[in-house]
Amino acid sequence: MAQISTAELAENSGQALLDERSLASLTEVSRELDSSYRSMQEQVLRLRGELAISRSARLRELAEKERLLGRLASLLAVLPGGVMILDAQHTIRDANPAALDMLGEPLLGETWPQVAQRNPELHESQPGQRRLSINGRPLDEDGEQVVLITDTTELHDLQEQLGRRQRLAALGEMAARLAHQIRTPLSSTTLYLAQLGRDDLPAEQRAKICDRLSGRLQHMEGLIESMLSFVRGGSPEMRPLLLRDVMSTLEAVVRPTLPPATIFTVTPIDDTLSLCGAADDLVGALSNLIQNAVDVAGDAVRIDVWAGATSHNSLQICVRDNGPGIPADVLPRLFDPFFTTRAQGTGLGLAVVARTVSHHGGEVRARNHSRSGAEFLIDLPLLDSAASCGDAAVSSSLFSTERG
């Protein structure tokens, strides 16, 4: 057998050691690869799970959207109003059944002017014709818009019925106001007629009574015309008035109707104070205040009427009595229409006063006097001697606003 040299043995030993190291390295790499593979498998499984969860959530989201779209489509289908989608060229791209019923087919592919041409109720209103309300809103930046169509025929019919009822209510209020206001001049007319029936009445006095009767009848005619103007929504005709003349007419109208035990005084007024107003309306309003004092305080009441300027642009008329006064719980509602504390009252006397004063650009208020009784204060704008009633109307509105 051949002998192996020391060099060869060393070389063989070195090679074996190298092979062992290489094998160990390969084993280590194999382990790392195996570990990486298992890690990758775990990641793949985890990603598959996450993807499955995401896909499931996406499917649920799509299902919810489909459900909402279906619900929206159902809502659009049952809506009583018409809904249409128009593109930038005003061509109808979609419409719900209500729109088809209102406007008739075809709609899809038609332009809005074509549809409006065959449905004249969209752009004009005729008695007895269906009424449609149209509202459009932009849908997106591409020029599309949604158009909503509502059949308002029933609403208009209800509004017309309400208007008729309101006119009837105004007519009833007018009749009640007229009856209330005409009572005072009618009473004086009755007294004058009773005097005319006397055989021993001198001709001169008979002529005076006839003149007064004519004046009372004219006053009642003015009241009726004022009531009709109220129902029509108009305001009384305004003209320059001397406050002295208004108070003189008031005294002539009221004094013959008062009970004998009533004390009635009117403070004398000079001819420098004037206002813009309707004389019959003002006299009627003041007569209501005086009659109200008699009704509340009795025949033996004392009634004082004072009038005068309170500033360079306003005047005040005060009607004061010595009666029991006004209960505290009644004061806030005193001028409300149809509010009354008397069994035979209409609740319109003081409401008429408030409306008349308001038409004259003024304000009325009531309070209890410090000593006894009640007083009504009416503030009205003065008419400048250099101004006309048209100018006074403007200043009256400013006066009313400032006081409010």
- Predicted confidence at residue 127, as pLDDT, reads 62
**Least trusted range by pLDDT, from 165-169, 235-239, 335-339:** 335-339
pLDDT range class, residue 318, cuts 50, 70, 90: very high
Residue 160 has pLDDT above 60, yes or no: yes
- What value does the mean pLDDT take over residues 92-112? 79
What 302-307 contacts at long range (C-beta under 8 Å, 24+ apart), as own/partner pairs, is 302/262, 302/263, 302/265, 303/262, 303/263, 303/264, 303/265, 304/265, 304/267, 305/247, 305/250, 305/264, 305/265, 305/266, 305/267, 306/267, 307/243, 307/247, 307/267, 307/269, 307/273
**Which CATH architecture does the domain made up of 163-234 adopt?**
Orthogonal Bundle (1.10)
- What value does the mean pLDDT take over residues 98-112? 79
Which is nearest to 375 in space by CA: 313, 329, 306? 306
**Least trusted range by pLDDT, from 237-246, 361-370, 382-391:** 382-391
- What value does the mean pLDDT take over residues 28-36? 82
Neighbours of 281 (CB within 10 A): 26
Residue 355 and residue 337 in contact, taking contact as beta carbons nearer than 8 Å: no
- Predicted confidence at residue 12, as pLDDT, reads 66
Q: What is the mean pLDDT of the chain?
A: 77
- Predicted confidence at residue 244, as pLDDT, reads 92
Residue 390's φ and ψ, nearest 5 degrees, are: -65, -40
Residue 204 has pLDDT above 80, yes or no: yes
Domain boundaries, the chain: 33-78, 82-151, 163-234, 239-404
Residue 213 has pLDDT above 70, yes or no: yes
- Predicted confidence at residue 381, as pLDDT, reads 92
Give, in order, the Cα–Cα distances in Å from 383 to each of 65, 145, 238, 314.
73, 58, 12, 8
pLDDT range class, residue 104, cuts 50, 70, 90: confident
Residue 111 has pLDDT above 70, yes or no: yes
Percentage of residues of the chain with pLDDT beyond 90: 9
Element (H, E) at 86: strand 82-86
- Predicted confidence at residue 113, as pLDDT, reads 81
What are the structure tokens assigned to 277, written together? 């107003």
- Predicted confidence at residue 211, as pLDDT, reads 81
- Predicted confidence at residue 379, as pLDDT, reads 94
- Predicted confidence at residue 315, as pLDDT, reads 92
Q: Which residue has the higher pLDDT, 386 or 164?
A: 164
**Which CATH architecture does the domain made up of 239-404 adopt?**
2-Layer Sandwich (3.30)
- Predicted confidence at residue 363, as pLDDT, reads 92
- What value does the mean pLDDT take over residues 262-291? 88
Which is nearest to 291 in space by CA: 256, 339, 239? 256
Percentage of residues of the chain with pLDDT beyond 70: 76
Strand (E) positions, 244-290? 263-266, 274-277
**Least trusted range by pLDDT, from 196-200, 326-330, 373-377:** 196-200
Q: Which residue has the higher pLDDT, 179 or 96?
A: 96
- Predicted confidence at residue 395, as pLDDT, reads 41
- What value does the mean pLDDT take over residues 85-113? 80
- Predicted confidence at residue 180, as pLDDT, reads 64
Q: Which residues pair with 86 in a beta bridge?
A: 92, 145
- Predicted confidence at residue 233, as pLDDT, reads 47
- What value does the mean pLDDT take over residues 294-300? 83
Q: Which residue has the higher pLDDT, 19 or 383?
A: 383
Q: Which residue has the higher pLDDT, 298 or 348?
A: 298
Cα separation, 375 vs 361, in Å, equals 20
**Least trusted range by pLDDT, from 114-118, 226-230, 323-327, 394-398:** 394-398
- What value does the mean pLDDT take over residues 289-305? 87
Q: Could you please report the per-residue DSSP string of 103-159?
A: H-S--TT-BHHHHHHH-GGGT---TTS--EEEEEEE-STTS-EEEEEEE-HHHHHHH
